[in-house]
Chains A and B, each alone.
Chain A
């Protein structure tokens, strides 16, 4: 997924053809009555209503519903209304005004398409194709079936919550699916039922920071420190401790940690590149926001330009999402941080203003937001 799916030329033509047909139908709806012969008799009048009311009185009287004197009084009253209505009935015959009909016709022929296109063009996305589920499933069916598998495993674990091996299998899958909160829970269970290990501690820390949008929170850092205590050489723990240092603004400490990590790393370790890039970042000033391991692994094979584009794409998606639904403080902070790392301070300021507006109604969230912004150096 991800690529913008522009419509093939032929489909584009069809779409515009449909638009044109619809416009013609709309114009026709206006022109049709203008071209028709007068049929003024095709209408009701007050006289008809009063005549009907008179008939109704006769009916009520016949059925014995109202006494005769009442009926007589009502008859007189309605007759008076009937006369008045008949007198005020438009005496002048319907006219036909050719000039104004022409104006109306021009309004339909020129105005309608102009207004429609004028409104539609800035709002619509005529170049985008539909993307229904059926079509999506034909392309890569994996995501769906994976979700189903996860659901099955979860069900199994619900019944046998002490199955440590199950948690061990499930946790990384959840992490990969982006269900970070669930992954955190799974890793915790895995720790409970499988016992301590530096890998599991480090994985938990990774899930925690992924859940926090890539920020190594105090909670996550504690996990990495525990992992580090269990195995001082654990690469993941070391990498993230370095990242924590970088995020705290201690770039030299980060560099020291990563340099030590690289020194001990086997030559063919797959994460070497990642650590090297990170090291380069703290050395030469960053251009990238910290991303989760997977995203970086995915971007590993890309050219520099592609990678930047990918990062920007992710940031933009986040921004759009927040524009539509802005009550997630963590996401706002993540966005502001991403802008800061990308060196776009103006956008960061703009985003923090938007964030304040979006959560403004909720005191608790606003406090969280302000605190977060302060740690990013945008407080006040």
Chain B
């Protein structure tokens, strides 16, 4: 009953989405309020039904109902509860259901909290949202139905891919999907604007919170995925330029560009056409990502779905939406009114530079992802584009971008004073140079570029601090005034500073990890001691343990430094009988931002065991950076300007009084 009700709820959601994609548009043409409001109630009802469907699938997994093929194939009755739940989206069908659930969630949010939007814009946005939803409901029902049944259910399931049996699966995919799918809202806004033929500064303000939400989740999702790969795959890598990772990086790059160009549009009514195009491209890249991951055109750890019919179906959706939206754009873009003018040296100019660098970087990643696929398809020639390619292309672009980052927020709108800004950034520049000198003196070995890159990171952080110092007048004004100004500073300014500083933090982490990472790989017997970066790591022994659905070989290491014992580390190797595969569980010892990392290989007949030990200086900064960026995003999101509805300005005036 749960299975069939969930299935039927999904079908009803499709029916509602079909109505939602047509009726509101007719309403908007006729200016009929009731017809336009159908969008709202159907979007909410759709959320209700997809939500019910998703909950039904979760319950089936929790109950280990193997009469449902999806549960049988991806679950096991002995699996811990958490993995029974996360296993719902640890497979193709379930993850697509999560995808549409989040799509419906965003649609529902626009319906519920979109009171500040003009009625016809909201109707258009929700209708476009429903087109996307209908396509994906059909895709799920026809090619990837999670509710198909088995008439004579097996006693035991086939278990979830062991690599996915980790807390990371609980966080990474939902975050990533909230990001991917969140960009569907800015896409719908763009299409709605094109259909209405009206676009102006207000549009940018309406889209901004949605773009920001998507961007925050995508940032966290990518960072989380990278950290997961780092500790789960067992050899300490955190970014592989894997096509699936690129698929999430591309929407992030263009989404970041979109956030910045929407700013220009909101403040200066300029870059309108470009912003619309970016909205379309960002969601198109999200769809492309979905296609790459879900169709199985690329074989990697992520491609646990391989089925040609699915691939063709998603390709069709992809062509329909990208092709359709771009043609609409081509047809309508010329008729859009152009907006304000600005000098090249100005805040707008800096943001254009930002957009230029980000989109070129995005194009580079797109090329690096698709070129090997095209070569394989056309020339039957397998190749891989990896770190060397991106070091030569992506790295210089980002270096330029980071050099420019501190300047952007300090330039004035319309006409900026580059010389003045440079003078004010002098302190930050000096901080960067000092950092270079220190890194140079302290470093032993490694690339000569590394100290320079660290200097750049410090410059970016110091630049963000300078911006806040300037705005609050920290050095030149009395402290009470500073405090008052700091409180009066829009939260988005704080957000900018945090997000930009996050970039610098991440850069420092990346450089330290890749340059001064040391490793020790050997076969160790009991009581053997490994020496690495000043740590003494002694293998105390190996023991076996039975987990809920796996058997585990645990090695105990005693870590000490200069004779003083620090900690006991217990990496393990788990073997899962049902799937006949095994995973490594690395042990991590965190010291400040640095980590000691131990993972196990195979044990040989004499009881010796292959061990990989890494010392990764400052590695955690790689993820603290994105967390800082996301925090900046949240601050910016909480800015009162974004929450404005019609009655708010009155309150703003009241708050103004004490200042006068």
Complex contact A133–B63 (CB within 8 A):
yes
Segment touching B, from A61-69, A332-340, A341-349: A61-69
Q: Any chain B CB within 8 A of the CB of A151?
A: yes
How many Å from the CB of A293 to the closest CB on chain B? 20
Give Cα A101–Cα B23 distance, bound, in whole angstroms. Answer: 9
| Residues of chain A with a CB closer than 8 A to B7's CB | 120, 123-124
- Tell me the smallest distance from the CB of A328 to a CB of chain B, in Å: 12
Once the chains bind, are B4 and A44 in contact (CB under 8 Å)? no
Provide the bound-state CA to CA distance between A92 and B120, in Å: 13
A77 to chain B, nearest CB (A): 7
Per-position 1/0 for B32-70, Cβ under 8 A of A? 111101101110110011000000000010011111010
- B12–A23 touching, CB < 8 Å: yes
Contact B49 A40 (CB under 8 A): no
Known contacts being A43-B117, A115-B18, A124-B4, is A36 close to B34, with CB within 8 Å?
Answer: yes
Considering residues B11, B147, B206, which has the most beta carbons from chain A within 10 angstroms of its beta carbon? B11
The answer to whether B38 and A63 have CB atoms under 8 Å apart is no
| Contact assessment for B644 and A49 in the assembled complex, using a CB-CB cutoff below 8 Å | yes
Are the CB atoms of B4 and A97 closer together than 8 Å? no
For B641, list chain A residues within 8 Å (CB): 52, 56
Beta-carbon contact of A30 and B38 below 8 Å: yes
User: Quick check: is B15 within 8 A (CB to CB) of the other chain?
Assistant: yes
For residues 94 through 152 of chain A, which have their beta carbon under 8 Å from a beta carbon of chain B?
94-97, 100-101, 104, 107-108, 111-112, 115-116, 119-120, 123-126, 128-134, 136, 143-144, 147, 151
Q: Chain A's nearest CB lies how many Å from the CB of B243?
A: 16
Contact across chains for B659 and A63 when beta carbons are under 8 A apart: yes
A131 CA to B4 CA, complexed, in Å: 12
Could you tell me which residues of chain A, from 47 to 76, have a CB within 8 Å of some CB in chain B?
Answer: 48-53, 55-56, 58-59, 62-65, 70, 73-74
Query: B202 and A46: CB pair below 8 A?
Result: yes
Evaluate whether A124 and B116 lie within 8 angstroms (CB atoms) in the complex, with A62-B660, A63-B485, A115-B14 already known: no
Q: Say whether A160 faces chain B, with CB atoms less than 8 Å apart.
A: no
Q: Is A295 an interface residue (CB 8 A)?
A: no
With a cutoff of 8 Å between Cβ atoms, the chain B residues found around residue A81 in the complex are 200-201, 269
**In the complex, which residues of chain B have a beta carbon less than 8 angstroms from the beta carbon of A38?**
33-34
Whether the Cβ atoms of B3 and A101 lie closer than 8 Å is no
Question: Are B34's CB and A49's CB within 8 A?
Answer: no
Name which residue of chain A comes closest to B644, CB basis.
A52
Q: Are B37 and A48 in contact (CB under 8 A)?
A: no
Contact of A101 among B15, B32, B49, B488 (CB under 8 A): B32
A124 CB contacts on chain B under 8 angstroms: 4, 7-8, 11, 147
- Judge if A162 is at the interface, Cβ distance under 8 Å: no
Q: Is there an interface contact between B37 and A36, defined as CB atoms closer than 8 Å?
A: yes
* B-chain residues with CB within 8 Å of residue A46 when the two chains form the complex: 118, 200, 202
A1 within 8 A of B: yes
Option from A97, A112, A130, A317 in Cβ contact (under 8 Å) with B19? A112
Chain A residues near B489 (CB-CB < 8 A): 63, 65
Contact of B544 among A3, A95, A158 (CB under 8 A): A158
Count chain B CB atoms within 10 A of each CB in A92, A119, A313 and give the residue with the most: A119
Distance in angstroms from B256 CB to nearest chain A CB is 24
Interface of A toward B, CB cutoff 8 Å: 1-4, 11, 14-15, 18-19, 22-23, 25-26, 29-30, 32-36, 38-40, 42-46, 48-53, 55-56, 58-59, 62-65, 70, 73-74, 77, 81, 84-85, 88, 90, 92, 94-97, 100-101, 104, 107-108, 111-112, 115-116, 119-120, 123-126, 128-134, 136, 143-144, 147, 151, 155, 158-159, 181-182, 313, 317, 320, 324-325, 357, 361
Cross-chain pairs A/B with CB under 8 angstroms, 16 sampled: A29-B42, A30-B23, A30-B42, A44-B645, A52-B644, A55-B652, A73-B414, A88-B198, A116-B8, A116-B11, A120-B7, A128-B67, A128-B151, A132-B60, A143-B155, A357-B308
Q: Hey, which bits of chain B sit against chain A, CB under 8 A?
A: 1-5, 7-9, 11-12, 14-16, 18-19, 22-23, 26-27, 30-35, 37-38, 40-42, 44-45, 48-49, 60, 63-67, 69, 73, 77, 115-119, 122, 141, 145, 147-156, 198, 200-202, 205-206, 268-269, 299, 306, 308, 340, 412-414, 471, 473, 484-485, 488-489, 544, 546, 551, 577, 580, 641, 644-646, 648-649, 652-653, 655-656, 659-660
